[in-house]
Amino acid sequence: MMATYAELNAILTESVTGAQELREKVRVACLVAAQTIASGGDTGGPWSPTGHDQRLKWMVKMLSAPDATSREMFGVAVAANAAVSQAGILGASDSMLQTNVNASIDALAANLV
């Protein structure tokens, strides 16, 4: 069953049990992704073969402002999973969150200067 907009909003505003923990997990996933990018491990998988320079800019943003940058990613991750139930979103595994974060970085990094 798909999450309703009200249920998605409850996650985004952290007014439902488990939402804060999910946001904190997304923050860690962002830090892991930043480390992967810093070490040059951002090849293959969801990473664009030509996007490393833009991902480096996202990495700097993440390391400079981890709370704001991971909160932005939190919104993207929740929206990207709108077809999943609220319980499914809140119960996402670490590996699922990492996959979602990695897959979203290129889009968020595309317009960074």
Specify the DSSP class assigned to residue 41: -
Are the C-beta atoms of residues 48 and 106 closer than 8 Å to each other? yes
Q: What is the pLDDT of residue 44?
A: 87
Give the tens place of pLDDT for each residue, 78-89: 999 999 999 999
Q: What is the pLDDT of residue 37?
A: 97
Report residue 113's pLDDT band, with 50, 70 and 90 as the boundaries: confident
Are the C-beta atoms of residues 70 and 23 closer than 8 Å to each other? yes
Give the tens place of pLDDT for each residue, 47-79: 999 999 999 999 999 999 999 999 999 999 999
Q: What average pLDDT does this structure show over 8-30?
A: 98
Whether the predicted pLDDT of 6 surpasses 90: yes
- DSSP per-residue codes, 85-109: -HHHHHT--HHHHHHHHHHHHHHHH
Are the C-beta atoms of residues 1 and 26 closer than 8 Å to each other? no
